[in-house]
A and B are shown apart, each in its own frame.
Chain A
Amino acid sequence: MRVQTRVLIVVLLVLALTGASALSAQSSGALTIGLATEPVSLDPAKGLFIAEQWVLMNIYDTLTRVDQAGELHPGLATGWEVNDDATEFTFTLRSDVTFHDGTPFNAQAVKAYFDRIAEAGDPVAIATSVLSGYVEAEAVDDTTLVVRFADPKPIFLNDLSRPWMGIPSPAASGELDTNPVGSGPFVFEEWTPQDHITLTRNEAYAWGPEFAATSGAPLVETVTFRFLPEGATRLTALQSGEIDIAEEPPAFGVQSLLDTGMYKLETFPAPGMPSHMMINTEHSPTDDIRVRQAMIHAVDQEQLVQTAFAGLQSPAFNVLSPTTFGYSEEAANLYRYDPERAAALLDEAGWVDSDGDGIRDKDGQPLTIVYPALPAYEEAYMELLAAYLNQAGIAVDIQTMDDAGIFEFAAAGNHHIVNMGWTSSDPGVLSFVYHSSNIEGGSAFTRFVDPELDAALENAATELDEEARAALYEQAQMIIMENALAIPLYNYDRVMVMDARVEGWVFDPEGYPLLSQISLAE
């Protein structure tokens, strides 16, 4: 028997030692990034997801570019003219650009792409919404393009800088899903589903952003995106040197890594709508504005981000994040954590704890709100949020369900609070969730109807003057917060932890790094 015991030990050791060579050190020219999710398609016309943005922005170039401060810069278009009602855009295009397959870039290529988006009319794709109201594009000559719309498009030039509007090679349009061809800083190499995507440096690249340190070929030779769905795995892969950058690390694993001095953190407050709870104004008890106001005062966002996210996300106090165009400081200052104020408001609304059970009641009915939650997204804070409301004497009925279940539940108006948030470089997304036309079948889960709010959102979408546009969005935020339609929670700060060797980090306006600027120190 003793022999067999020894054999067992040897077997286990051999199993553990197989392939026990040291992990090979990465050459400095290869950058590896661990992503939480995988792209679905690399055709920009179909793009929708975060993971796609990472890849698309490196393969394709856009007609315009926006720097981190939100300033518009030339891209593949060196200049443009816009008519007075912003329905006709005349672009002057670069003549020195070639796609990765050798096809020259010209006005016909842009027209072909725009026509394809408009024809496909994919209801989900972001490109479709950017081109809404598209009438035609006219290639006057190789370097002159005119684009016409039926309605004013005040944010078209900004929208053109988004990765979904990257121009693909017209010679490759059939198979872009899995074999994308653009003119960007990196050339698509391969995609092994559920494993990785590899890009290689475009040696001929010379038309990068003018506001970046280098507008020429990227500093690293290859970029590999690895798909690591588990946060814990992204951190251990970073520690073992298998990846250089980990996206969205688990908040509570990051600090110990940073303490070693071998890693660093980059964060960017994403523009758009922060994570917030939309409050249903249709049903009792949240049809009473005092109850809604009390709920906002009951939540301590500063503490919440510390407890739930180890401080890696910043507290939100408004329905737009501070980096969004038209952000209203005034609206953000309307509410702060104030339990006394919350109690006074609830007393005033007639909700008092008459039976001493800690939950307020009125006419024999306890003050209870229904909260459909998706643990996969909301686990970090949902119990905490409920606890804050509990402290104010509000009982919270958390009903966990899946994503589609929540959407249906809330679309039917069965909720009192439901989570919402949307990263976007433009405040126009407010319309999707606060315009009353989206109550039935859409996402206007507050079910709040106010002609003034609707008008502000509609006018903002077509207003040509930047200042007037900002003012309209500020007005919309004030109406939303004054009517206490939302409990802001935290901003979606993009968080990335990386090897200290990663240099030259610059975020684009939506919170993605410009990979062409990055190098790896020895």
Chain B
Amino acid sequence: MNRYLVRRFFLSLLVLAGVSVLTFLILHLAPGDPVYAILGRQAASAESVQALRASLGLNDPLPVQYARFLENIVRGDLGTSIRTDRPVISMIAEQLPSTIQLTLASMAIATVVGLFIGLVSALNRGRWLDRVLTVAIIAGVSMPTFWLGILLILLFSVQLRWLPSAAPASDPRSLILPALTLGLAEAAVIARIVRASLIDVLDQPYLMVAHAKGLRPRRINWRHALPNAMIPIVSILGLQFGLLLSGSVVVEALFARPGLGRLTVTAINSRDFPLIQGIVLVIAIIYLLVNTLTDLLYAVINPRVRLT
């Protein structure tokens, strides 16, 4: 188990190094000069273009800019935002809690609703309830979060006036609609996998044996089938976490919620290099941590993994 941990750790470091190189290169190879983006669409004189480029250190060779970038990361300094002139690390720290809150809330909704629908659907396989739920799942998987969000706003904010559509973050109700939007879409994905996985397990010969022994169906389902069906679901939850983080880009903009997703859009639109790099790095770290945790959890609930 320890060797497994050590190996996972070094693999993660390698992935992180790759992330930093890629972020750095992709940004600089993309067409367009960051100076123009900062000056904006609006007219700029030739003189101001030159002056700004020099003041940002964009005239240095790429390797020099990258070395400076790495050196600063190691020192825990993610640089200063070109757009706001503020430290990137504090801009991210400001926005991260809101996104984590949204992600965890949607994950809770996705897991509860997804597990529930998947279970009901699998245990009623082939019956009308299963068919209705399958249609709902397909609708949920196919519907863009943006659209679902607008529908929820129209229903709960405009028609019923129960929930704010774009309340300030200080209002706790501001979490509900965004979390529902993200959570319901992800619930559909989880439900589909739960259903498939459980149906798979229910067909296994050992469950037939259990039936033959005369065990009650409820005991078979909860004690024998479910734990085995959970194995693929745990790893899916880890992946879903990453998807939810990226889903925050759309949902945060739609509900005018502060967060890392919205910060990312602003950063990309203004080609705020240090900020984009910082956000990608932080998200990569979070994603790696969550997936490492998922892998460990996987090893705990599935003894077969420990052998490898």
Contact, CB under 8 Å: B158 / A239:
yes
Q: How far does the alpha carbon of A438 sit from the alpha carbon of B44 in the complex, in Å? A: 8
- Known A17-B162, A20-B162, A236-B158; judge A5-B120 contact (CB<8 A): yes
Residues in B with CB closer than 8 Å to A237 are 157, 164-166, 256
Within 8 A of A (CB), among B72-125: 83-86, 91, 94-95, 109, 112-113, 116-117, 119-120, 123-124
- Known A15-B109, A22-B162, A236-B153; judge A440-B46 contact (CB<8 A): yes
Residues in B with CB closer than 8 Å to A377 are 41
Contact, CB under 8 Å: B262 / A408:
no
B303 at the interface (CB under 8 A from A): no
Of A200-208, A224-232, A453-461, A478-486, the one contacting chain B is A224-232
Of B1-9, B12-20, B26-34, B197-205, the one contacting chain A is B26-34
Contact, CB under 8 Å: A405 / B31:
yes
A437 at the interface (CB under 8 A from B): yes
Contact, CB under 8 Å: B158 / A123:
no
Contact, CB under 8 Å: A407 / B32:
yes
Contact, CB under 8 Å: B166 / A228:
yes
Complex interface bits, A10-24 against B, C-beta within 8 A gives 1, otherwise 0: 011001111111110
Within 8 A of B (CB), among A405-427: 405-409, 411, 419-422
Contact, CB under 8 Å: A438 / B120:
no
Contact, CB under 8 Å: B43 / A123:
no
Of B49, B83, B169, B172, most A-chain CB atoms within 10 Å: B49
Partner among B120, B150, B176, B256 whose Cβ is within 8 Å of the Cβ of A227: B256
Partner among B40, B49, B83, B84 whose Cβ is within 8 Å of the Cβ of A442: B49
Contact, CB under 8 Å: B85 / A230:
no
Complex interface bits, B41-78 against A, C-beta within 8 A gives 1, otherwise 0: 11111111111100100000000000000000000000
Q: Which residue of B lies closest to A7 (CB)?
A: B116
Residues in B with CB closer than 8 Å to A406 are 32, 41
Contact, CB under 8 Å: B161 / A1:
no
Within 8 A of B (CB), among A5-53: 5, 7-8, 11-12, 15-23, 34, 38, 40-41, 46, 48
User: How many residues of chain B get a CB closer than 8 Å to chain A's CBs?
Assistant: 74
Q: How far does the alpha carbon of A228 sit from the alpha carbon of B156 in the complex, in Å? A: 18
Complex interface bits, B147-165 against A, C-beta within 8 A gives 1, otherwise 0: 0001001101110011111
Min C-beta distance of B273 to chain A, whole Å: 11
Residues in A with CB closer than 8 Å to B51 are 123
Min C-beta distance of B146 to chain A, whole Å: 9
- Known A5-B120, A194-B95, A420-B43; judge A22-B161 contact (CB<8 A): yes
Q: Which residue of B lies closest to A37 (CB)?
A: B266
Contact, CB under 8 Å: B43 / A404:
no
Partner among A15, A226, A411 whose Cβ is within 8 Å of the Cβ of B166: A226
A287 at the interface (CB under 8 A from B): no
Q: Which residue of A lies closest to B154 (CB)?
A: A236
Q: How far does the alpha carbon of A16 sit from the alpha carbon of B91 in the complex, in Å? A: 33
Q: How far does the alpha carbon of A195 sit from the alpha carbon of B43 in the complex, in Å? A: 30
B224 at the interface (CB under 8 A from A): no
Within 8 A of A (CB), among B129-179: 129, 150, 153-154, 156-158, 161-170, 172-173, 176
B24 at the interface (CB under 8 A from A): no
Of B95, B124, B162, most A-chain CB atoms within 10 Å: B162
Residues in A with CB closer than 8 Å to B43 are 420, 422, 429, 432-433, 438, 442-443
Min C-beta distance of A161 to chain B, whole Å: 20
User: How many residues of chain A get a CB closer than 8 Å to chain B's CBs?
Assistant: 71
Contact, CB under 8 Å: A401 / B32:
yes
Min C-beta distance of A44 to chain B, whole Å: 15
Contact, CB under 8 Å: A233 / B129:
no
Q: How far does the alpha carbon of A453 sit from the alpha carbon of B145 in the complex, in Å? A: 52
Q: Which residue of B lies closest to A41 (CB)?
A: B84
A124 at the interface (CB under 8 A from B): yes
Contact, CB under 8 Å: B45 / A442:
yes
B271 at the interface (CB under 8 A from A): yes
Residues in A with CB closer than 8 Å to B50 are 441
Q: How far does the alpha carbon of A296 sit from the alpha carbon of B254 in the complex, in Å? A: 38
A193 at the interface (CB under 8 A from B): yes
Contact, CB under 8 Å: A437 / B46:
yes
Contact, CB under 8 Å: A5 / B129:
yes
Complex interface bits, B212-247 against A, C-beta within 8 A gives 1, otherwise 0: 000000000000000000000000000000000000
Contact, CB under 8 Å: A19 / B163:
yes
Partner among A16, A228, A402, A422 whose Cβ is within 8 Å of the Cβ of B256: A228
A242 at the interface (CB under 8 A from B): yes
- Known A15-B109, A230-B253; judge A401-B40 contact (CB<8 A): no
Residues in B with CB closer than 8 Å to A419 are 41
Residues in B with CB closer than 8 Å to A21 are 162
Contact, CB under 8 Å: A422 / B34:
no
Q: How far does the alpha carbon of A73 sit from the alpha carbon of B72 in the complex, in Å? A: 51
Q: How far does the alpha carbon of A411 sit from the alpha carbon of B123 in the complex, in Å? A: 64
Contact, CB under 8 Å: B271 / A422:
no
B39 at the interface (CB under 8 A from A): yes
Contact, CB under 8 Å: A177 / B263:
no
Q: How far does the alpha carbon of A451 sit from the alpha carbon of B161 in the complex, in Å? A: 63
A148 at the interface (CB under 8 A from B): no
Q: How far does the alpha carbon of A376 sit from the alpha carbon of B266 in the complex, in Å? A: 13
Residues in A with CB closer than 8 Å to B253 are 229-230
Residues in A with CB closer than 8 Å to B123 are 1
Contact, CB under 8 Å: B262 / A194:
yes
Partner among A228, A240, A401 whose Cβ is within 8 Å of the Cβ of B161: A240
Within 8 A of B (CB), among A181-231: 192-196, 224, 226-230
Contact, CB under 8 Å: B158 / A403:
no
In the complex, besides A230-B253, A237-B165, 7 extra interface pairs with C-beta distance below 8 angstroms are A46-B85, A123-B47, A194-B259, A195-B168, A196-B168, A374-B41, A437-B46
Listed by A's residue number, 16 A-B pairs whose Cβ atoms lie within 8 Å are: A15-B109, A23-B161, A41-B85, A46-B85, A177-B86, A193-B95, A193-B258, A228-B166, A230-B253, A239-B158, A240-B161, A404-B271, A405-B32, A407-B36, A408-B32, A440-B46
* 3 closest Cβ pairs, A-B complex: A404-B32, A432-B43, A441-B46
